[in-house]
A and B are shown apart, each in its own frame.
Chain A
Amino acid sequence: MIMISGTAIYVLWLREMKRYVRAKSRIIGSILQPMFFLVFLGLGFNRMAVPGMKPGVDYIQFLVPGILGMTLLFSSSMQGLSVLWDREFGFLKEIMIAPVSRTSIVLGRIAGGTTTTMMQGLLVLGLTFVIGFRVNGFLNFLLALVFMILIAFTFIGLGLIFASRMKDMQGFGMIINFIIFPLFFLSGALYPLDNLPSFIRILSYADPLTYGIDGLRGTMIGLNSRPIGIDLAILCGFALVMLFLGTYFFEKSESV
């Protein structure tokens, strides 16, 4: 029988919130990075004819959901990988020694990670509002929020899988360079996927972020390449599988 402790989930979430609010430089850095992407890529390519782009679509409009997806990808996978930091700084033992089920611990981490990722995403989205980006209506905004949450779930799960399999920080850079960046470039965040050679395009179909970004683009600016329902269903599937695997590997991992 699995006992879920609401208090444990709450206190793990609360810890994440406190850490997030206190790390001002981290917040600023993680907002500046997507904004730089948006401004420089946006300005740089805005006047250029991006191949495969539908006529009449502004590149910056096209780019905003992509950069939002990027923000969510980086923020949530870092949250999943934060188990590694806790292991490095010893705090993981304090968590693992407590008389609460491992499932409660994972749920607490997912709750905290999702909240900070969403805050990050909404901050970036708010800034794009300042530079003139508009979402097509309130209902679409709500649907976009659903996509954002699903992206967060998926990559927190992915981060947890890797963090549970690793003993130390050594493989961290490898994961960023060989997993996270390819996921980003394959997702169509920066350009329409039609531009990619067909063998790479096949890889992009295996990338959960592809469906996330297509869904965000569909809900936000009405520019999806698949029906939104399909994006939603596939992303839901990815999120469930990743969360399940992340939980499974975390529960199996040794705490020291």
Chain B
Amino acid sequence: MKAIVVDQLTKTFEDVTAVDHISFEVPQGELFGLLGPNGAGKTTTINMLSTLLKPTSGRAEVGGYDIVKNRDDVRKSIGVVFQEPALDGKLTGRENLEFHAMMYGLRKDERNRRIDDVLALVELVDKARVLVDKYSGGMKRRLEIGRGLIQHPKVLFLDEPTLGLDAQTRRHIWDYVRKLNRDKKVTIILTTHYMEEADFLCDRIAIMDHGKFVALDTPPRLKDVLGGDVVSLEVEGNAAPLDDAFKALNWLKKYTRREDVLNLTMEKGERRIPEIITLAQQLGVTVGCVHLRKPSLEDVFLHFTGRTIREQEANASERNRTMMMGHGRR
């Protein structure tokens, strides 16, 4: 059974196409990541799948229900943690959870039991009676993750769950997300523009850019596209004799040399380094410095889009600004 089926889903705002004919499926129990810069269309995708926005065209099913025709059934099957906090600061943590549980029609006993459960899970039991206005950013985010679980959703959407949080809190949230996915078997859809977050958490990742998927696979296989690790050598003296010797190695995937800096691409780079150095010494070349680089999703992103995610970010905020001006005129 598929938790999510998306077919040619599209959303257009006036003349901007935020999501452009995307299609994918997520099996139950998967931790699926949408990775891309701001403005790539991740949040719009989540908003459509969680019934907050109507798609311009295309269709999608969440938990077996159509997101347009069976909105209420979809709403009952999902939990959502939004990018921006969606808490009432004038209520206590527990009251926010109570509000939520009652909106989902849970009866009093069940309600109290589940609220106690999630408060324990996100470690906010002793802060439950404090006004949310007094919470830190990390506490708010944890409360929201807990809230998204009260109705026992089949699918949990997390939109940039660690945006703006410090490194320690981020780690903490990652642990919760993993625990939820593994122990409670919740299907999780997570958006992020942090490479290491997607890499660490997700079973599969879709790389999104300008409203389209440019790649979709497991993190190791996405990295494989790049051909493996890069070993860089800095040598002393004449490096020319090395060219032919290295090119003859059958396990070497790519070789480039600029003056005395050599770049070698291969799999399991750390196991090949001794061999490389020995070979160099046999040919009378002294290696001054060795550097091993494992491909990151950052490289993968660069490979598929031709830009680093940071360059993308700058362009996207530029685009956002133009869009907002468009809104203001209306």
Name A residues whose Cβ lies closer than 8 Å to a Cβ of B. Answer: 5, 7-8, 10-11, 14-15, 18-19, 22-23, 89-101, 167, 170, 254-256
Contacts and interface: CB of A to CB of B under 8 A. Distances in A.
Interface stretch (B2-10, B81-89, B262-270): B81-89
Contacts of B104: 98-99
Given A256-B47, A256-B52, A91 B102 contact: no
B233 to A, nearest CB: 52
Given A8-B102, A97-B80, A255-B52, A91 B87 contact: yes
B89 A15 contact: no
Contacts of A92: 86
Main secondary structure of the interface of A (DSSP, over half): helix
A10 B102 contact: yes
A24 to B, nearest CB: 12
B178 interface: no
A254 B61 CA distance: 20
B308 to A, nearest CB: 29
A7 B110 CA distance: 15
B105 interface: yes
Interface size class of B (residues with CB under 8 A): 20 to 34
B105 A89 contact: no
A8 B103 CA distance: 5
Contacts of A93: 52, 80, 82, 86
A93 B87 CA distance: 9
Given A97-B50, A99-B76, A254-B53, A90 B102 contact: no
Contacts of A100: 103, 105
Nearest to A89: B89
Contacts of B73: 99
Given A94-B100, A97-B75, A167-B327, 12 more contacts: A5-B105, A7-B105, A18-B91, A22-B90, A23-B90, A89-B88, A97-B80, A98-B100, A98-B104, A100-B103, A170-B328, A254-B53
B255 interface: no
10 contacts: A5-B105, A7-B103, A23-B90, A93-B52, A94-B87, A95-B103, A96-B52, A97-B50, A99-B76, A256-B53
A238 B51 CA distance: 33
A90 B103 contact: no
A254 B44 CA distance: 13
Interface string B151-193: 0000000000000000000000000000000000000000000
- Please list the 8 inter-chain residue pairs (A to B) with the smallest Cβ-Cβ separation, ordered nearest first: A98-B103, A99-B75, A90-B86, A11-B102, A94-B86, A99-B76, A90-B84, A255-B52
A256 B47 CA distance: 8
A97 B51 contact: yes
Contacts of A90: 82, 84-87
A255 B50 CA distance: 11
B114 to A, nearest CB: 15
A110 to B, nearest CB: 17
B264 to A, nearest CB: 49
Contact of B103 (A11, A18, A256): A11
Contacts of A5: 105
Contacts of A23: 90
A22 B134 CA distance: 14
B90 A18 contact: yes
B107 to A, nearest CB: 9
A49 to B, nearest CB: 48
Contacts of B24: none
A91 B105 contact: no
B72 interface: yes
A91 B52 CA distance: 13
Interface in B26-59: 47, 50-54
B95 interface: yes
A10 B93 CA distance: 19
Nearest to B90: A19
A255 B327 CA distance: 16
Nearest to B79: A97
B251 interface: no
A18 B85 CA distance: 20
Contacts of A170: 328
B191 to A, nearest CB: 14
Interface in B108-127: none
Contacts of B54: 254
A168 B198 CA distance: 33
Contacts of B47: 256
Contacts of B53: 254-256
Nearest to B100: A94
Nearest to A94: B86
A93 B91 CA distance: 16
